[in-house]
Amino acid sequence: MSFPDEIENIEINLDGDDEKPSKKEEEAIQNGIDFPPDADIELSLCANEIDEKENEDLTAIFLKHRVPYSKFIKDPFKVLSNPNLMVKIDDKLYDWKIACPLIVSLLAFKRVNKHIEK
């Protein structure tokens, strides 16, 4: 598992204020990130550990904090608003702030950007 090259160095503001996304965040959202409509998508509350442990195995950290469906359905809002939420789409790891518009675009429009049509 790895961070996608397109957004690897984007810093995400997780302190709760309503700042606009940075220029790099906007570019990642505008350009979209390619992934197939049948991609495997998993959730994990691991952002704080990934930031702290740069040299450790991302897969192990992700799996340690993976959100099972049973936990998600108990309180989806709590999971989706957690600042530690990370999303794995196939083998790429995304911060929720980047993954959310990609997933919603795929669900609502069946494409992730203007260049990708189903």
pLDDT tens for each residue of 54-88: 656 888 899 999 999 999 999 999 999 999 999 99
φ/ψ of 23, rounded to 5, equals -60, -40
- In a domain, residue 77? The reply is yes
Asked if pLDDT for residue 107 goes beyond 60, the answer is yes
- In a domain, residue 13? The reply is no
- In a domain, residue 70? The reply is yes
Asked if pLDDT for residue 92 goes beyond 80, the answer is yes
- In a domain, residue 16? The reply is no
- In a domain, residue 92? The reply is yes
For residue 45, give its domain range.
Answer: 35-118
pTM of the prediction?
Answer: 0.64
Q: What is the total count of domains within the chain?
A: 1
pLDDT band at 3 (very low <50, low <70, confident <90, very high): low
